[in-house]
Structure formats: structure tokens, C-alpha cells
């Protein structure tokens, strides 16, 4: 049976959560955490612990490896529950709804804050694509020792939250961050649709200017380059039709050896799309020159 995130979360009690936390903690030393280690960390009696572990396996929160010593590892769904629990306990989420989007490397759920505002809860799924593809888009992965894809998902969430905190202070064209835990980032819910789905804009030139402003602010005031910008990670926000740039974890710092090449690629990809789709043409070389010499950026 397939359970929803909200249903599973509400079905868990404190002992279940203690077990999940014990498995998560044990993964620092084991691929599959032995039952004896879980028992020591939780102090739950053996019979009750085994019953609870069977239940957690049934709900796909942990997976079991049989052998001379039975062990358990946390699934991505189990990590989802722990991240959600942390955000709930910190008073950031009141309720979580259905999954609203599935990407190559993330799942997004709608959530509600205690004040009633809509939020987006993004769980990273690094490793859903191949390692080669993931490493190409996230060069920081190749610069550190790989542990597990759960670790890399946590790192991606941490990086995105950090970038959004800094960027949102300087531009209105990124989602406002609310919080993060483990591999999950909680942001304001942006009502709109992806740019690649949009065939008409009231003022495509002004929209493009907004995108270029974010590129400029990121480079000159935050010191980073998005690194994978295209029509697939720009949202057309309603009702004012403003651009919102998403998906920041693969950013590189401007002193990174390939930063300038990635900056050029970001500008070229967006420029090519606007020329093809909206007949708005810009001088890419001039825009890049203005950004890298800290001049104001505009298509005019």
C-alpha cells in the first residue's frame, strides 16, 4: 500500500520517531544500522522494537537487510518524515498537502504555515539522475568525498537555503526562504507556471530584465553564479507576471575556475529562449560585459 507523506507522519508516535532518529544517527558508522545499535540508542524493549521496525518497513520509512546481523537503513521517505517533523516542531509548518511537482532531483509538496500562508516544501532527491549528470550540474560534489546520496541531498538543501537567504535580501525575483531541515527547503509558495510552458508575456522585455537583474545581483553582490539557468527554472509568477528564479543548489562562487563560462552559458541560454519564443533580442556579449564590470544590466 502506498501512503501519503501527511498520512504517514500523522500515524507515527514518539517511539517511531526515536527509532528513525536512531537509524539516521547510526548511518554515520554503518550502511545498515544493526538492531543492537538501534536498541542501545532508543532503549526500547526488543519485542516492541522489532514490531515497530516491521511497521516502519511496511511504511517504506526504513529498509532492512537480513544476514548474520539484521540491519536497517533510512529511506528517502524516512528522511522526508524526519525533516517534516523538524519543521513542524520549529513552528514553521502546520500541515502538509499533496505532492504538486516531481522533478529530476526533487519532489515538491504544498504546505501551510501556522498563520495560514501557503508554502512549498522541496525535498531533494540527488541521485535520481545518474551520478555523471548530477556531478556535471553540481561541481561541488566532485570536490568532496561522496558518502551517500542522502548526504548529497542534505548538502543541496543547505546550499539552496543559504543562497536564497542572501539573494532574497537583494531582489524580489527569488522565492523567500522560510527554513530548511536535512534535505528539505521550505519556501514561500509561488503561484504561477514555468517559463517554458508560457507562450505569451505581456511585457517580455521587462520580464527578461528581471532575470538579468537576478544574474547581476547574484554575481556582483552575493558572489555566485546560478550555473544551470534556463526556461525550466524560471517561474512566471501571477498575477503581476514577474520572474522568479528557482533551483540554486548547483551555484558556484564567482572565483571558481569555470564561473565565467557558466555565467556566459546562463545568459546565452536565456537570451536564446527569449529570442526564439518572444522575439526579444539582446547583445549577449554586452550584457556579460556589463555584469562582469559591475554596470547596471538592462536589455535597453
User: Where in the sequence numbering do the catalytic residues fall?
Assistant: 228
Cα distances (angstroms) measured from residue 223 to each of 5, 200, 259, 271: 37, 32, 10, 22
Give the number of other Cβ atoms within 10 Å of residue 4's Cβ: 13
Cell numbers representing residue 219 in the block: 554575481
Helix (H) or strand (E) holding 5: helix 5-11
Provide the 3-class DSSP secondary structure of residue 137. helix
The secondary structure of residue 114, as a DSSP letter, is T
Q: Any idea which residue has 554575481 for its cell?
A: 219
The answer for 123, left when phi > 0, alpha when psi is -120 to 50, beta otherwise, is: beta
Q: What is the Cα gyration radius of the chain?
A: 22
- Alpha carbons within 13 A on the beta-carbon side of 208: 27
Residues 6+ apart with CB under 8 A from 290: 216, 296, 297
Contact 71, 35 (CB under 8 A): yes
Amino acid at each position: 500500500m502506498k501512503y501519503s507523506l501527511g498520512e504517514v507522519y500523522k500515524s507515527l508516535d514518539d517511539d517511531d520517531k526515536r527509532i528513525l532518529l536512531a537509524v539516521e544517527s547510526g548511518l554515520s558508522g554503518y550502511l545498515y544500522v544493526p538492531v543492537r545499535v538501534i536498541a542501545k540508542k532508543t532503549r526500547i524493549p526488543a519485542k516492541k522494537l522489532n514490531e515497530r521496525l516491521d511497521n516502519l518497513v511496511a511504511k517504506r520509512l526504513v529498509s532492512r537487510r537480513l544476514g548474520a546481523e539484521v540491519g536497517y537503513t533510512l529511506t528517502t521517505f524516512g528522511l522526508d518524515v524526519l525533516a517534516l517533523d523538524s519543521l513542524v516542531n520549529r513552528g514553521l509548518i502546520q500541515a502538509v498537502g499533496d505532492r504538486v511537482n516531481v522533478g529530476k532531483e526533487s519532489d515538491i509538496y504544498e504546505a501551510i504555515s501556522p498563520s495560514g500562508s501557503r508554502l512549498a516544501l522541496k525535498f531533494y532527491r540527488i541521485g535520481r539522475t545518474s551520478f555523471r549528470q548530477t556531478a556535471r550540474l553540481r561541481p561541488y560534489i566532485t570536490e568532496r568525498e561522496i558518502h551517500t546520496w542522502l548526504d548529497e541531498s542534505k548538502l543541496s538543501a543547505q546550499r539552496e537555503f543559504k543562497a536564497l537567504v542572501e539573494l532574497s535580501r537583494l531582489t524580489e525575483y527569488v522565492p523567500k526562504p522560510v527554513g530548511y531541515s536535512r534535505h528539505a527547503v521550505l519556501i514561500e509558495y509561488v503561484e504561477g507556471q514555468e517559463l517554458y510552458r508560457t507562450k505569451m508575456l505581456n511585457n517580455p522585455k521587462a520580464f527578461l530584465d528581471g532575470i538579468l537583474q537576478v544574474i547581476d545581483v547574484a554575481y556582483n553582490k552575493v558572489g555566485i553564479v546560478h550555473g544551470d539557468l534556463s526556461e525550466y527554472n524560471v517561474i512566471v509568477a501571477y498575477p503581476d507576471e514577474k520572474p522568479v528564479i528557482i533551483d540554486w543548489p548547483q551555484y558556484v562562487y564567482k572565483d571558481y575556475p569555470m564561473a565565467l563560462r557558466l555565467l556566459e552559458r546562463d545568459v546565452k541560454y536565456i537570451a536564446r529562449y527569449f529570442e526564439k519564443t518572444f522575439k526579444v533580442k539582446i547583445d549577449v556579449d554586452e550584457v556579460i560585459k556589463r555584469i562582469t564590470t559591475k554596470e547596471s544590466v538592462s536589455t535597453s
